[in-house]
Structure 1
Amino acid sequence: MLLACLLHEFAVFALAAHGITLLVSGVPRPALRAWSVTVACIVVGLLPLAIRSSGESGQVSWIAWPDPMQFLGFLAMVTVGMRCARRPMNVRGAIQLPALALPILVLPGLLLLLLSPVKPLFVDRYVLYSSIGFALLLGAGIDRFHRRQLSSRTSWVVALAVLAALLPPSLYLRTPQSRHDDVIAIGNAVRHAARPGDGLLYLPGRHRVWTGATPEDTRFLTDLALVQDPTSSNTLAGIELPAQDIPARILKFSRIVAVRDPEGAHSDTNSQEEAKTRTLKRYFRECGTTRVTGARITVYVRKVALCREDDQRLAAI
């Protein structure tokens, strides 16, 4: 458990779920003491990492308040799981299946949702292990259905209906469109929109990671806000100039390629991002935008300059 928490701090929610399982199951005191010792060891072992990682919370600043679909998805899974748990189960042993499966299904996601007003951190893949509880409960429900000895025809109809429901989302999850962003498409769009010597701006700066996978896409561009690259600064997105120095750097260029959030996305609001946006709005005009999955690539030119024909074609890409 300590190794799991060191690999991913949110695994600690599984330990809390196991504690609830032990409490509601009425296990002997030695088992509860063993769990308490485990908690103490993990707290001691995890504390240095928690303190260290708290200073890097900006790496997850992109996480916004959970949208309604996330709430509904979590609620639907919990509802189905609880429905399965309501049925009697022929399980031998001190710990019944609902007592094991329901806490691991409900608690990790619920705790992240409750933390959202303080710090939005709810991302379903962060607590993907909670699907273990859902799988156990759903498996028990399928087993009960099978024991009802329905006709083979009815069983085949149900099986095909389940397959028809699961196949489309399963195929969709294996496409680039299922991702929040497509870094390969973003890099290609930057390469096609830019000319050697252009300036490059990331709005916000954390999006520098999008083009980090393919450095050749930005090799001939000047990153206008960057003062220390990710490698030398030991960060994901590098370190940017102070807000007061960014406008002067931008104004040295007459043509800039900006990597931006898609329309309606949650954007960072700090002095550096405001300096970038304010300078572009005042001294530049938009010449064309390429939209790809999760991002917009926009070409800006100084207002005293004219858009060239190749810039105007960007809007049609």
Structure 2
Amino acid sequence: MAVLVPVAVMVALGLWGLDRGGIWRDEAATFQVARRSPAQIWRMLHHVDAVHGLYYLLMHGVLALHPGEVLLRLPSVCGAAVTAGLVAALGSRLCRPRVGLWAGLLYAVTPMVGHYAQEGRSYALVAAGVAGATLLLLRAVRDGRWWPYGLVLAVTCVLHEFAVLVLLAHACTLGLAWVPGRVWRGWARAAGAVAVVLLPLALVSRGQSAQVAWLTPPNGRSVERLLREFAGPSWAVLGPCLVLMAVAVLGPGARRGLSPAGVALPLMLVPPAVLMAVSRVSPLYDDRYVLYSLAGAPLLVAAGADRVAGLVRRATGATPPAVRGGCPHAAGVVARGPASLAPCRPVPHGAAVAVRERPEVCVSGARPVLRRLSVPRARAVPVRPPAPGARPARRRHLGALAGAVLVCGALAVQFPLLRADRKAANRPDDLAAVSAAVGRTVRPGDPVLFLPSLERRSALAYPAGFRGIRDVALDMPAAEDGTLYGREVGPRELRRRLGGLGYVWVVGEPYALRPSWTPCNAIDRAKLAVVREEFVTRAEYVHRGITLRLYVRPRSTRESRSAPPRPASGSDRRGGPAGP
């Protein structure tokens, strides 16, 4: 139940508004690349976007069923739902089921999770892989089987190479737990295997680093933004979450063994901190690249809430001495041998306790020590009648329900953000709207320029609106050329082609048509120079994220013979006698 409820909630939130309509520029890359043949995808990865290669091949199989916006985003919904269940499983294993329930629900209702659960990109799947690897880390520490951990983490890192930073977080977790040498050796072998698998991809993607040239070094605002995305965008949610995180981290016994704080805190802090530090020198940071670290935040909040609940029960005398202290790790419960590395379990209420006069190894403290233990007998003997003993179970259920109600309060506060995120207007652009605008305005056979060239993505994602147009600058289509947007002709050939035209439509980014913009690409510079020197603006259509402008050659006989139709008037018309 602690795992299934968060999964169900995440599925419901993920499917809500999934058919919002047009895709935006990042989703368009997935949509148009994944519809190519595997051979064409493989060829493209040698030139660009190798970091997303495995994801493109996966989505090729998905979109082969039915190419559409909903199916494009559905794998991300599944990834987010799996992550919510894994976060709940982590909380249950590290502490108790109700902590898992609260953590999984908190993860599901976080707006950042909901946003990337509805994006046709790999980030939600990467988060699922990291959460699964973290759960397998706990299992490997207990039973010594490291190959499942290494396998899942290797696949996750190939899905997106920045997931490799979670190895540093896991190393911090093992260091805080003071695990023995055999555990370190097993982890090192698994980490080495992951590095060997990832190395070829890292070398190829390094040569394609121009793709992230738009990134800027992070600053204090980047840190604040990430904190709000992880813990809550408004102080009504952020404040209580920060307090509960502090309780989980600073409470007595919080960092003993494989505790919730020892697992969640490095997961939440280490990957973003390392990536931000590296990005001060070479900008690589974007918050979506560390989405997988968000799983640590709800774990800390839930663990802190459980500790507070334990203190309240202890203050009111509702908890028997054997189980006081909230999370079992705080109760100082000690196990023996290899099993001691597993999460501790509290002594059952009402069980008789025997003292064994022999030393045992304690891994709940800062260092392994020898001490005499009070441990439950193999068969617990109840010392109270069964009927009164049922009350603590009912109290635990009520406590779990109360925590779920508080999560619903957090959902209510954040609901306007979740609702707004289900609209296409909440993305930077809508390529379906661009294609529709071109289809209404441009006639078949009309010449079109894309400025900059990457604006051709709207035609690749939604070709219907561009059917029959003349792409003046295109030399070889994208799928054949093995690139994202196709190969264009050189500046001299472009000038020759434009020289025989009486008019041309320009589909461009708003910034690309501003007088202050200077392209870094020689072909884009040639496009801009020709339309500014040889043409004048006749009409302009401005939509969110796109500008469609008609240029005509002044006093041209060609214009009189082949002038375009007057565009239909509309509220977005600017300049000229008529506008689209």
Q: TM-score range by the shorter chain?
A: 0.7 to 0.9
Q: For residue 107 of structure 1, what is the aligned residue in structure 2?
A: 270
State whether residues 248 and 254 of structure 2, in contact with CA within 8 Å, keep that contact through their aligned partners in structure 1.
no
Moved more, 297-306 or 275-284: 297-306
State whether residues 225 and 240 of structure 1, in contact with CA within 8 Å, keep that contact through their aligned partners in structure 2.
yes
Q: For residue 188 of structure 2, what is the aligned residue in structure 1?
A: 36
CA separation of 1:298/1:15 partners in 2, compared to 1, >3 Å: closer, same or farther? Answer: farther
Q: Name the larger-Rg structure.
A: 2
Q: For residue 259 of structure 1, what is the aligned residue in structure 2?
A: 507
Q: For residue 89 of structure 2, what is the aligned residue in structure 1?
A: none
Show CA shifts across 1:169-214 (max 9, x none).
1112211122222121121122223122222222222222222122
Q: CA RMSD in A?
A: 3.5
Task: Tell me the CA shift for residue 241 of structure 1.
Answer: 2.2
State whether residues 268 and 293 of structure 2, in contact with CA within 8 Å, keep that contact through their aligned partners in structure 1.
yes
CA separation of 1:282/1:120 partners in 2, compared to 1, >3 Å: closer, same or farther? Answer: farther
- Runs of 5+ unmatched residues, structure 2: 1-152, 232-237, 317-398, 575-579
Identity among equivalent pairs (%): 30
State whether residues 255 and 301 of structure 1, in contact with CA within 8 Å, keep that contact through their aligned partners in structure 2.
yes
Task: Tell me the CA shift for residue 311 of structure 1.
Answer: 6.6
Alignment partner of 1:303 out of 546, 554, 559: 554
Structure 2: how far apart are the matches of 1:267 and 1:33? 54
Task: Tell me the CA shift for residue 298 of structure 1.
Answer: 2.5
> Number of paired residues?
316
CA separation of 1:293/1:85 partners in 2, compared to 1, >3 Å: closer, same or farther? Answer: farther
Q: For residue 12 of structure 1, what is the aligned residue in structure 2?
A: 164
Establish whether residue 315 from structure 1 lines up as the match of residue 573 from structure 2: yes
Structure 2: how far apart are the matches of 1:248 and 1:119? 40
Q: Where does 1:207-286 land on structure 2 (aligned, <5 Å)? A: 207-263=455-511, 269-286=520-537
What letter is aligned with 2:452?
P
CA separation of 1:15/1:232 partners in 2, compared to 1, >3 Å: closer, same or farther? Answer: same
Establish whether residue 168 from structure 1 lines up as the match of residue 416 from structure 2: yes
SS of aligned partner of 2:485: coil
Show CA shifts across 1:256-278 (max 9, x none).
23232244999962222222222
Q: For residue 291 of structure 1, what is the aligned residue in structure 2?
A: 542
Moved more, 77-86 or 207-216: 77-86
CA separation of 1:110/1:166 partners in 2, compared to 1, >3 Å: closer, same or farther? Answer: same
CA separation of 1:65/1:9 partners in 2, compared to 1, >3 Å: closer, same or farther? Answer: same
State whether residues 176 and 182 of structure 1, in contact with CA within 8 Å, keep that contact through their aligned partners in structure 2.
yes
Moved more, 206-215 or 261-270: 261-270
Task: Tell me the CA shift for residue 69 of structure 1.
Answer: 5.8
Structure 2: how far apart are the matches of 1:85 and 1:249? 67
What letter is aligned with 1:50?
A
CA separation of 1:112/1:240 partners in 2, compared to 1, >3 Å: closer, same or farther? Answer: farther
Moved more, 161-170 or 223-232: 161-170
Structure 1: how far apart are the matches of 2:476 and 2:201? 25
Alignment partner of 1:137 out of 294, 300, 304: 300
What letter is aligned with 1:83?
A
Q: Where does 1:70-109 land on structure 2 (aligned, <5 Å)? A: 70-76=222-228, 77=230, 83=246, 85-88=248-251, 94-109=257-272
- Runs of 5+ unmatched residues, structure 1: none
State whether residues 261 and 267 of structure 1, in contact with CA within 8 Å, keep that contact through their aligned partners in structure 2.
no
Structure 1: how far apart are the matches of 2:308 and 2:542? 48
SS of aligned partner of 1:212: helix
Show CA shifts across 1:6-61 (max 9, x none).
12111111122212222233222222222222232222211111222233334444
What letter is aligned with 1:2?
A
